[in-house]
Amino acid sequence: MAEARPDFTPAYFRLAQDIKVRIENGDLAPGERVPSTSELAREYGISHMTVRRGLELLEREGYIQMVQGKGSFVAQRHMDFLVLDLRENDILGESRNYRVELREVEVVAADGETAARLDLRPKDTVLRIKRVVFSASTPLALDVRILPYIKGAPVLEREIAYAAFPDLVARHTELNPIRNILEIYATTISGENARQLKVRQGAHVLCVEQVIQGPGNRPLGCSRMYCREEKVRLRAVSQGR
């Protein structure tokens, strides 16, 4: 049986997810007004600021339109705008019971590529996290996460192991992620990474790479999930804009 995974999802994100479900189920139709900030704050027991963060996320993703002085309204749907779900249970198969092993949490010097992605100087220190996702005894994916090193920031092992990457970035940096830049590409894997994934040196894998940006397009963190090619599944759904 898979170990229960704790929920580290921020309140604003849960609110946004709930409204998405209502829109996708047809409970809120295109053009219909979304409950007001005050109504949502009372319903969820959260602050007006937290509600606004959730609504702003929905607007960025194209689910709603916020109209000054009038409220928020469900946006028209377009079938050519697809949303790819990057949660592990979606990439690796919802029916699988998987577990996560935390293999490494180390402060290291950033290599040139990492420094460029995070807008750091080469050799600046970063926090490197390696997680392996298993189904039974079979490794499905190796997830390498890189965060700017913040002296004195607490390192919570269970949160690092199980939190979704954007949520981990938000908690680590105490900044609001604005944008997630995604690349999916085929590559090869070697060295210790290949051994962690239990594949041959130079094996082909699918890499799902994310760069999380904050205000002013400031890079807050990057990750690469190396997935065994026979184990991965990508599924996108039309919604929003």
**Measured distance CA(184)–CA(162) in Å, rounded:** 22
Q: How many CB atoms lie within 10 A of CB 189?
A: 21
Q: Where in the chain is the domain with CATH 1.10.10.10?
A: 11-77
pLDDT at 226: 96
pLDDT at 136: 84
Residue 204 CA to residue 195 CA, distance in Å, equals 13
Class of the 11-77 domain?
Answer: mainly alpha
CA-wise closest residue to 13 among 165, 159, 134, 199: 165
C-alpha to C-alpha distance for 68 and 129, rounded to whole angstroms: 42
Strand, helix or coil for residue 174: coil
Angstrom CA distances, 194 to 1, 30, 122, 131, 189, stand at: 26, 47, 25, 13, 5
Cα–Cα distances in angstroms (integers) from residue 82 to residues 62, 72, 73, in the given order: 11, 22, 20
What is the residue type of 128? Answer: R
Strand partners, 213: 179, 219
Pinpoint the residues of the chain covered by CATH 3.40.1410.10: 84-234
pLDDT of residue 18: 95
Please identify, in words, the CATH class of the domain defined by 84-234: alpha beta
> What are residue 84's phi and psi, to 5 degrees?
-100, 125
Which residue in this structure is represented by tokens 């050519």? 80
The three-class DSSP label of residue 206 is strand
Structure confidence at residue 160 (pLDDT): 77
Query: Phi/psi of residue 72, each to 5°?
Result: -115, 140
Which residue type does 213 have?
Q
Q: What is the pLDDT of residue 76?
A: 83
- The mean pLDDT values, 10 residues at a time, for the chain of 241 residues are 55 93 91 96 95 94 91 83 65 67 92 91 91 89 92 72 82 84 93 95 94 91 90 67 47
Residue type, 121: R
Please report, in angstroms and rounded to a whole number, the separation of the first and last CA atoms in the chain: 40
Residue located via tokens 């170990």: 3
